[in-house]
Chain A
Amino acid sequence: MGLVIQSLPYLLLGALQTLKITLVAVALGIILGLIAGMGRLSRRRLTSFLATCYVDFFRGTPLLVQIFIVYYGFPQLLNEGQQFLMANFGLPQVLQTTHIPVFVAATVSTSLNSGAYVAEIFRAGIQSIDRGQVEAARSLGMTERQSMRYIVLPQAFKRVIPPLGNEFIAMLKDTSLLSVIGYVELTRQGQLISAATFRPLEVYFAVALIYLAMTFTISRFVDYLERRLRTGDHDRS
């Protein structure tokens, strides 16, 4: 018990990193997801095809593998690409090092992953809005863009809050995978402490409880938001 209390500041520091990377991942994921989600609904074949490829790839492969591709694979691409340009086109060497900082790799891989899930959430949210809403907007002379902006998206946003909350919670837990590339978040911090103290049971149990405290708080907050936003929205279908 004393050990846990002693290492608590370090664990909380790790939890802060976990929270930070999750916030960044989901925030960027929402931007990517909105683009990809609307892309999937696009009437342009190429746009919807590309969006579908993106979503399928990142939802259909393990996050751990995606992290490896970004952290280990991408430097190789940069390196070999540069070699190729230098050899074939006589371009000067631009990058001295092709190593990617861990935080960048962590941000890129988790955001891309989150974006794919958020895209599906937005797509479902937009599609859940009754077609009559768009018809009413269009019959008043609104353009497709205006009816999306003023009528569909505001209603869709309210409906996607619960699934977005779930995505946030899932991502918060999945960031533990970043420990394998040495990103010092909560799980990695636990590993370090456990290795130094040989007390894995207490340490990892404390780690688990900190995750639980975070996810529990978030899910209550989402419930609250959902209740607040319910005004003026009801399902007529």
Chain B
Amino acid sequence: MTMIEVRNLHKSFGPLEVLRGINCTIAAREVVVVIGPSGSGKSTFLRCLNLLERPTKGEVIIDGISLTDPRTDINAVRQEVGMVFQRFNLFPHKTVLENITLAPIKVRRLPAARAEQQALELLTRVGLRDKADSYPEQLSGGQQQRVAIARALAMQPKVMLFDEPTSALDPEMVGEVLAVMKDLAREGMTMVVVTHEMGFAREVGDRVLFMDEGLIVEEGTPDQIFNNCRNPRTKSFLSKIL
């Protein structure tokens, strides 16, 4: 079953064309890792998948609903697409628990008690049950990112987008965040992950997309990409980072 379909996606910022025609199909339960040099458009591509950036041209269809159709209620679609940011973006004026319950209560209209119960279950899942009443600033980066994942999951999304989720973390905290993401992948979540963690891509990714200059230059299984890539640009990129 197809979860995400992207057709001829273009995105320009003024005269700068960041995405120059992306086509790809992502199946339900698939974990797709997007790699590529900085400035290649990976983050913009990801942000087009929940319309944080509006595509200049082309179509994005998630679970059968076209995001680019002007009649689509974009807020309704965003509820089904969770996003985790590089800089966490937790709400600093709310406790960890409130960070997680806010959207379910205000957007999904869940009763507060239900939302809290669900939030505590999610916090247990990411190993932070005891931090429910802390404020984000009292947590380490790795803990904040795990809360951010729990916050996104609280909306029970069908797809999770990760925008360089470990890039702002101290090295010793990367593992704990990746562990949570691996669990999520194992449970069958459809995931699109922009990352520089090649170990994660190898271990968890079903498919790797290599992007350069606004295009998907090469794609394949992690094995194909990391061990037998054909495109010279992929080769040169991998030789620099591996």
A residues whose Cβ falls under 8 Å from a Cβ of B: 130, 132-133, 135-143, 146, 150-151, 154-155, 158, 231-234, 236
| A137-B91, A236-B87 given; 20 more Cβ-contact pairs under 8 Å | A130-B89, A132-B85, A132-B89, A133-B91, A135-B83, A136-B90, A136-B148, A136-B151, A138-B75, A138-B78, A139-B78, A140-B103, A140-B107, A140-B151, A140-B152, A141-B108, A141-B155, A154-B93, A233-B93, A236-B92
Q: Check A231 against B135 for contact (C-beta < 8 Å).
A: yes
Bound state CA distance, A60 and B178, in angstroms? 55
Bound state CA distance, A233 and B50, in angstroms? 28
Chain A residues with CB under 8 Å of B50's CB are 139
Q: Check B91 against A143 for contact (C-beta < 8 Å).
A: no
Residues A132 and B87 in contact in the complex (CB < 8 Å), given A138-B52, A140-B78, A142-B106: yes
Task: Judge if B230 is at the interface, Cβ distance under 8 Å.
Answer: no
User: What are 8 pairs between A and B in contact, CB < 8 Å?
Assistant: A141-B78, A141-B108, A142-B106, A142-B107, A232-B94, A232-B137, A233-B92, A236-B92
Q: Check A139 against B82 for contact (C-beta < 8 Å).
A: yes
Chain A residues with CB under 8 Å of B82's CB are 139-140
Chain B residues with CB under 8 Å of A146's CB are 106-107
Bound state CA distance, A162 and B224, in angstroms? 58
Min C-beta distance of B86 to chain A, whole Å: 9
Chain B residues with CB under 8 Å of A150's CB are 102, 106
Bound state CA distance, A236 and B93, in angstroms? 12
Min C-beta distance of B172 to chain A, whole Å: 21
Bound state CA distance, A196 and B108, in angstroms? 70
User: Considering the complex of A and B, which 8 residue pairs feature the smallest CB-CB distances, nearest first?
Assistant: A141-B79, A140-B103, A136-B89, A132-B89, A139-B83, A232-B135, A141-B78, A141-B107
Q: Check B155 against A135 for contact (C-beta < 8 Å).
A: no
Q: Check A136 against B107 for contact (C-beta < 8 Å).
A: no
Q: What class of interface size applies to chain B in its complex with A?
A: 20 to 34
Bound state CA distance, A151 and B103, in angstroms? 11
Residues A135 and B93 in contact in the complex (CB < 8 Å), given A141-B75, A142-B75, A231-B135: no
Q: Which of B81, B83, B92, B108 contacts A234 (CB 8 A)?
A: B92
Q: Which of A130, A133, A139 contacts B81 (CB 8 A)?
A: A139
Q: Check A155 against B152 for contact (C-beta < 8 Å).
A: no
Bound state CA distance, A236 and B78, in angstroms? 25
Across the interface, name the chain A residue whose C-beta is closest to B107.
A141
Chain A residues with CB under 8 Å of B79's CB are 140-141
Chain A residues with CB under 8 Å of B16's CB are none
Interface string of B148-182 (1 = CB under 8 A from A): 10011001000000000000000000000000000
Bound state CA distance, A13 and B76, in angstroms? 58
Bound state CA distance, A101 and B75, in angstroms? 51
Chain A residues with CB under 8 Å of B92's CB are 155, 232-234, 236
Across the interface, name the chain B residue whose C-beta is closest to A134.
B89
Chain A residues with CB under 8 Å of B95's CB are 232
